[in-house]
């Protein structure tokens, strides 16, 4: 039972930071740099790391070759250029009670100002012998001074903000003291949850993270605070899912599935195990009275279209309609062709005809459809004459109404916003809400999906159709015409020779470049430049096409058609081809300056080849100077498994990019990491589901409900907690 009188986070959020001792207007301004406005903000401004003073060594005992920590006072610093003029060296002398030490920094001239004479600093680094003297090169520096306490927290600090980690530490200590002297922290977690995970209470957690007595205490505190963050997010998501279900009446489907079965039987291949499983998951959703809200993750080529068509047929079977929404006109047109072909010859019951049936009707609705056609399609959608409609945003932007829209499939989810999905769910005249399946080819790790798409159920196509020849991927360590080093061209010439060989054998190739405009500064090869050079030199005599963002739609269409028909052998393009090109005869993908692309993008690009029976190759041309760029290319080289790559991507980039789009308002993931804390994401989800099941409006968990409000905003929360 929570103590009603203890202090809630909301109360701490109501205390302005300026009310703490020692926080005057100037410091207050500095704190706003960190988005710290209230005492709660300060208490959730966590240490970046900790210095364990028991590892501290006197300078006199430093051993060359070993890493160590010293607490020193700066004597002097100076900066000079080295013989290699591009490197600036800052050197200095420091001391403690036991002796003196030399320190060196490369290309960090600002250290001279930071480390003025008399400044106290903690240095952590490896000690070397240089000309017989001990020195530390590029040590980690903390301006914590000689503080008491064995474990010293180091806060993110900014010189610009004029704040030291010591000051922040003092204000935090004062805040904690005030809470303790007051009524202590209120405990929002039920006893059972605390017991189950052996969590410390909230007071212990805030003390342990800010003022620990041991390194072990930090871990215990962190665990608890991480869980609090993740639970708030999961509760909000689970409540949102429940709110959607609560507020909507689904379409009743008739799932004895004659049409769907016939469709499966007529496919030229058996379903993969994963397809069969996912179709089962979807049909279980369709059978329920609440509308489906499901995300389908499946790598490029995993066979999502068959799942989509199968689901739409489930709707058509019962006299309802299906809609498939694609992000671009090209993709919509491609889907329209493909789906029409798959469903050619199918019929649906129709009592108005002599035979009692009529052909199943698939139609296309985009902004390119002529006005008379559009008028006809719109009329037929309302009348129910069109069974499956495929289109772009036009499907929701226009005054489109349906006779009875049963299943909506949205392809390439990341290009559609939540609002657009909502609009599509309001299309039925009778007020029923269609079932929604969202498909994405950008796999994200399971725990990340749980967090980012936590208001959707998730299905995964984790099995590729058989009989594909794997794509051979090679990182060719070379720049594109970056000039330096004549031997660079040699490696690349092998690649272009391979392109020629494949073209001679009747196959086609893509060459993808990162930027359109020439940028001398970045030395990025532009598509134009690459195109001109390949045509004149490496690929002379072959038929080349060029596509980039400034090519008009009509020209683009024409070039694409020529490439599809095989009249162009090589397509030089920027990332405009990322989505929606399907040319099984293309067997080579060359990516220029590949280190400028993200993992997901490289993976998508590579997915453009390997679509036919012939062996395909992907070449990554890049000199990759940063460790992160190298890691990305090595990952792409090592595996074609999209989920594995997604894990690596998350590892390399952190969760910021994943969370970015979906997170509204205040970001509550300050301590938790979707990478490090995977198991806690799953546990928090489980607890959230249980809590909401037992107490749908959280009336018996008022503190938790209040905290969600604190981080989500009042209006949102009121909606979620509506009875
Ligand atoms: P995605 O949209 O997931 O990238 P598609 O639906 O376009 O993939 O399918 C890719 C290719 O695989 C298509 O040519 C499709 O006909 C084929 N395919 C789909 N399912 C199977 C299967 N079970 N066995 C063999 N081939 C399949
Ligand atoms: Mg697809």
Q: What is the 3-state secondary structure (H, E, C) of 389-456?
A: EEECCHHHHCCCCECCEEEEEEECHHHCCHHHHHHHCCCECCCCECEEEEEECCCCCHHHHHHHCCCC
- Using CB distances shorter than 6 Å, the residues near ligand 1 are 269, 271-272, 275, 298, 300-306, 441, 465
Q: Which atom of ligand 1 is nearest to the CA of 307?
A: 6
Q: What is the pLDDT of residues 611-628, one digit of tens each?
A: 888 899 999 999 877 888
Question: What is the distance, to the nearest Å, from the Cα of residue 722 to the centroid of all Cα atoms in its chain?
Answer: 31
Q: What is the pLDDT of residues 32-81, one digit of tens each?
A: 888 899 999 999 999 988 888 778 899 999 989 888 889 899 999 998 87
Distance 361 CA to ligand 1 centre (A): 22
pLDDT at 536: 93
The verdict on 412 and 513 lying in the same domain is no
The verdict on 497 and 615 lying in the same domain is yes
Ligand 1 pocket mutation, candidates 301, 334, 459, 608, criterion most atoms within 8 A of CB: 301
Closest ligand to the CA of 339: 1
pLDDT at 716: 64
Distance 467 CA to ligand 1 centre (A): 11
Ligand 1 pocket mutation, candidates 302, 305, 439, criterion most atoms within 8 A of CB: 305
Q: Which atom of ligand 1 is nearest to the CA of 582?
A: 7
Give the global pTM: 0.72
Distance 494 CA to ligand 2 centre (A): 33
Classify burial at 435, counting beta carbons within 10 Å of its beta carbon; exposed 0-12, middle 13-18, buried 19 or more. Answer: buried
536 vs 552, residue with greater confidence: 536
The verdict on 374 and 324 lying in the same domain is yes
Closest ligand to the CA of 411: 2
Q: Which atom of ligand 1 is nearest to the CA of 271?
A: 23
Distance 391 CA to ligand 1 centre (A): 20
- Residue nearest atom 20 of ligand 1, based on CA coordinates: 303
Report the domain count for the chain. 3
Going by the DSSP 8-state scheme, the letter that residue 539 receives in this structure is T
Q: Which atom of ligand 1 is nearest to the CA of 467?
A: 25
Going by the DSSP 8-state scheme, the letter that residue 56 receives in this structure is B
CA dihedral (315, 321, 326, 332) positive or negative: positive
pLDDT at 341: 94
Closest ligand to the CA of 338: 1
Distance 340 CA to ligand 2 centre (A): 15
Residue 277 has pLDDT above 70, yes or no: yes
Distance 300 CA to ligand 2 centre (A): 7
- Residue nearest atom 19 of ligand 1, based on CA coordinates: 303
Residue 503 has pLDDT above 50, yes or no: yes
- Residue nearest atom 23 of ligand 1, based on CA coordinates: 271
Distance 87 CA to ligand 1 centre (A): 54
The verdict on 356 and 278 lying in the same domain is yes
Distance 167 CA to ligand 1 centre (A): 60
Among residues 639, 656, 673, the one where a domain terminates is 639
Closest ligand to the CA of 306: 1
448 vs 568, residue with greater confidence: 568
The verdict on 266 and 409 lying in the same domain is yes
Question: Mean pLDDT throughout 570-598?
Answer: 84
Q: 315: part of which helix (H) or strand (E)?
A: helix 304-317
Q: Does 575 map to a domain?
A: yes
Question: 123 with 137: CB under 8 angstroms?
Answer: no
Q: Which atom of ligand 1 is nearest to the CA of 305?
A: 6
Highest mean pLDDT among 282-296, 304-318, 346-360, 662-676: 304-318
**pLDDT bracket for residue 24 (50, 70, 90):** very high
- Residue nearest atom 18 of ligand 1, based on CA coordinates: 303
Least confident of 59-63, 345-349, 555-559: 555-559
Q: Does 361 map to a domain?
A: yes
Distance 307 CA to ligand 2 centre (A): 10
Residue 168 has pLDDT above 50, yes or no: yes
The verdict on 383 and 480 lying in the same domain is no
Among residues 154, 171, 204, the one where a domain terminates is 154
Question: Mean pLDDT throughout 106-118?
Answer: 88
Q: Does 458 map to a domain?
A: no
- Residue nearest atom 22 of ligand 1, based on CA coordinates: 465
Q: What is the rounded distance in angstroms from the CA atom of residue 565 to the CA atom of residue 559?
A: 10
Residue 507 has pLDDT above 90, yes or no: yes
pLDDT at 419: 66
Least confident of 41-45, 59-63, 171-175, 711-715: 711-715
pLDDT at 675: 76
Closest ligand to the CA of 607: 1
- Residue nearest atom 5 of ligand 1, based on CA coordinates: 303
The stretches of 5-101 forming alpha helices (DSSP H) are 9-13, 25-32, 39-43
Distance 282 CA to ligand 2 centre (A): 18
Residue 83 has pLDDT above 50, yes or no: yes
Distance 583 CA to ligand 1 centre (A): 14
**pLDDT bracket for residue 445 (50, 70, 90):** confident
Least confident of 15-24, 298-307, 374-383, 570-579: 570-579
Question: Mean pLDDT throughout 143-160?
Answer: 74
pLDDT at 498: 96
Q: What is the rounded distance in angstroms from the CA atom of residue 457 to the CA atom of residue 446?
A: 11
- Strand blocks (E) in 477-558: 508-512, 544-547
Backbone dihedral angles phi then psi of residue 406, each to the nearest 5 degrees: -95, -45
- Residue nearest atom 1 of ligand 1, based on CA coordinates: 301
The whole domain housing 615 covers: 471-639
Question: Mean pLDDT throughout 215-243?
Answer: 92
Strand partners, 121: 72
Question: Mean pLDDT throughout 336-356?
Answer: 89
Residue 605 has pLDDT above 60, yes or no: yes
pLDDT at 327: 82
The CATH number of the domain holding residue 320 is 3.40.50.300
Distance 272 CA to ligand 1 centre (A): 10
Q: 460: part of which helix (H) or strand (E)?
A: strand 457-461
Closest ligand to the CA of 342: 1
575 vs 309, residue with greater confidence: 309
Question: Mean pLDDT throughout 480-486?
Answer: 48
Q: Does 196 map to a domain?
A: no
Q: What is the mean pLDDT of the chain?
A: 86
Q: What is the rounded distance in angstroms from the CA atom of residue 414 to the CA atom of residue 676?
A: 25
Distance 400 CA to ligand 2 centre (A): 24
**pLDDT bracket for residue 248 (50, 70, 90):** confident
CA dihedral (629, 631, 634, 638) positive or negative: negative
Least confident of 9-18, 136-145, 505-514: 136-145
Q: What is the rounded distance in angstroms from the CA atom of residue 604 to the CA atom of residue 298?
A: 12
511 vs 553, residue with greater confidence: 511
Q: Does 381 map to a domain?
A: yes
The verdict on 631 and 549 lying in the same domain is yes
The verdict on 503 and 399 lying in the same domain is no
Least confident of 53-57, 146-150, 208-212, 564-568: 146-150
Question: Mean pLDDT throughout 134-147?
Answer: 81
The verdict on 490 and 585 lying in the same domain is yes
253 vs 578, residue with greater confidence: 253
Q: Does 174 map to a domain?
A: no
Q: Does 706 map to a domain?
A: no
Ligand 1 pocket mutation, candidates 324, 411, 465, 606, criterion most atoms within 8 A of CB: 465
pLDDT at 458: 87
Cβ-proximal residues to 680 (8 Å cutoff; 6+ apart), any chain: 223, 226, 227, 230, 672
Cβ-proximal residues to 217 (8 Å cutoff; 6+ apart), any chain: 208
Question: Mean pLDDT throughout 575-602?
Answer: 83
The verdict on 357 and 479 lying in the same domain is no
Question: Mean pLDDT throughout 352-365?
Answer: 90
Least confident of 245-254, 373-382, 712-721: 712-721
Question: 56 with 70: CB under 8 angstroms?
Answer: yes
Least confident of 64-78, 190-204, 372-386, 454-468: 454-468
Q: Which atom of ligand 1 is nearest to the CA of 270?
A: 23
The verdict on 415 and 314 lying in the same domain is yes
Q: Does 582 map to a domain?
A: yes
Distance 332 CA to ligand 2 centre (A): 10
The CATH number of the domain holding residue 108 is 2.40.50.140
- Strand blocks (E) in 98-245: 99-106, 120-130, 133-137, 140-142, 151-154
Three-state secondary structure call for residue 515: strand
Residue 664 has pLDDT above 70, yes or no: no
**pLDDT bracket for residue 698 (50, 70, 90):** very high
Helices and strands (DSSP H and E) totals, the chain: 26, 23
Question: Mean pLDDT throughout 356-382?
Answer: 92
pLDDT at 490: 58
Among residues 136, 154, 172, the one where a domain terminates is 154
Question: Mean pLDDT throughout 269-273?
Answer: 96
Distance 304 CA to ligand 1 centre (A): 7
**pLDDT bracket for residue 425 (50, 70, 90):** low
The verdict on 356 and 476 lying in the same domain is no
Ligand 1 pocket mutation, candidates 279, 303, 410, criterion most atoms within 8 A of CB: 303
Question: Mean pLDDT throughout 567-593?
Answer: 84
252 vs 3, residue with greater confidence: 252
272 vs 441, residue with greater confidence: 272
């Amino acid at each position: 039972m929570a103590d009603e009188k203890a202090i809630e986070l909301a109360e701490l959020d109501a205390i302005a930071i300026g009310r703490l001792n020692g926080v005057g207007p100037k410091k207050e301004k500095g704190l706003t740099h960190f988005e710290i406005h209230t005492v709660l903000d300060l208490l959730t401004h966590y240490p970046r790391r900790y210095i364990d003073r028991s590892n501290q060594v006197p300078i006199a005992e430093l051993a060359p070759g070993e890493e160590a920590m010293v607490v020193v006072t700066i004597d002097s610093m100076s900066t000079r250029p080295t013989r290699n003029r591009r490197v600036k060296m800052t050197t200095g002398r420091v001391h403690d009670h036991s002796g003196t030490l030399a320190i060196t920094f490369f290309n960090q001239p600002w250290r001279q100002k930071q480390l003025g004479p008399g400044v106290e600093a903690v240095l952590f680094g490896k000690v070397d012998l240089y000309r017989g003297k001990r020195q530390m090169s590029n040590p980690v520096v903390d301006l914590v001074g000689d503080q008491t306490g064995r474990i010293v927290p180091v806060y993110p600090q900014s010189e610009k903000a004029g704040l030291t980690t010591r000051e922040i530490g003092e204000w935090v200590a004062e805040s904690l003291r005030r809470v303790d002297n007051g009524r202590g922290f209120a405990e929002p977690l039920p006893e059972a949850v605390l017991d189950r995970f052996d969590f410390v209470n909230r007071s212990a957690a805030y003390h342990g993270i800010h003022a620990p007595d041991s390194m072990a205490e930090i871990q215990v505190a962190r665990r608890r605070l991480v869980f609090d963050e993740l639970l708030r997010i999961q509760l909000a998501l689970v409540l949102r899912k429940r709110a959607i279900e609560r507020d909507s009446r689904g379409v009743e489907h008739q799932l004895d599935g004659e049409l769907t079965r016939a469709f499966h039987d007529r496919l030229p291949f058996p379903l993969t195990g994963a397809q069969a499983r996912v179709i089962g998951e979807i049909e279980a959703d369709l059978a329920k009275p609440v509308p489906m809200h499901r995300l389908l993750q499946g790598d490029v080529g995993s066979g999502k279209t068959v799942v989509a068509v199968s689901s739409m047929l489930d709707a058509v079977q019962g006299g309802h309609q299906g809609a498939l929404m694609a992000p671009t006109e090209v993709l919509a047109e491609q889907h329209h062709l493909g789906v029409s072909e798959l469903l050619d010859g199918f019929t649906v019951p129709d009592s108005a005809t002599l035979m009692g049936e009529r052909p199943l009707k698939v139609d296309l609705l985009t902004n390119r459809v002529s006005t008379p056609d559009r008028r006809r399609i719109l009329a037929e959608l309302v009348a129910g004459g069109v069974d499956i409609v495929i289109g772009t945003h036009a499907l929701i932007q226009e005054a489109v109404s349906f006779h009875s829209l049963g299943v909506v499939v949205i392809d390439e989810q990341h290009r559609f916003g939540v609002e657009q999905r909502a609009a599509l769910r309001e299309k039925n005249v009778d007020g029923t809400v269609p079932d929604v399946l969202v498909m994405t080819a950008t796999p994200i790790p399971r725990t990340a999906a749980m967090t980012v798409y936590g208001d959707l159920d998730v299905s995964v196509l984790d099995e590729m159709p058989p009989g594909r020849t794997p794509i051979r991927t090679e990182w060719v360590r070379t720049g594109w015409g970056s000039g330096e080093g004549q031997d660079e061209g040699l490696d690349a010439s092998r690649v272009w020779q391979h392109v020629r060989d494949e073209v001679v054998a009747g196959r086609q190739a893509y060459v993808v470049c990162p930027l359109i405009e020439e940028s001398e500064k970045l030395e990025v090869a532009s598509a134009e430049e690459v195109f001109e050079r390949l045509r004149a030199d490496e690929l002379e005599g072959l038929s080349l096409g060029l596509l980039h963002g400034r090519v008009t739609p009509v020209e683009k269409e024409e070039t694409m058609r020529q490439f599809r028909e095989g009249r162009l052998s090589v397509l030089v393009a920027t990332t405009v081809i990322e989505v929606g090109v399907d040319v099984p005869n293309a067997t080579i993908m060359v990516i220029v300056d590949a280190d400028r692309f993200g993992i997901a993008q490289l993976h998508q690009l590579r997915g453009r080849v390997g679509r036919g029976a012939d062996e395909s190759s992907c070449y990554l041309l890049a000199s990759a100077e940063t460790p992160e760029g190298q890691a990305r290319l090595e990952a792409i080289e090592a595996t074609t498994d999209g989920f594995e790559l997604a894990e690596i991507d998350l590892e390399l980039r952190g969760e910021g990019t994943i969370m970015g789009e979906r997170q509204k308002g205040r970001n509550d993931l300050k301590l938790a990491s979707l990478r490090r804390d995977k198991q806690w994401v799953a546990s928090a989800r489980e607890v959230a589901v249980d809590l909401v099941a037992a107490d749908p409006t959280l009336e018996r968990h008022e503190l938790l409900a209040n905290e969600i409000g604190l981080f989500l905003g009042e209006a949102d929360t009121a909606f979620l907690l509506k009875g």
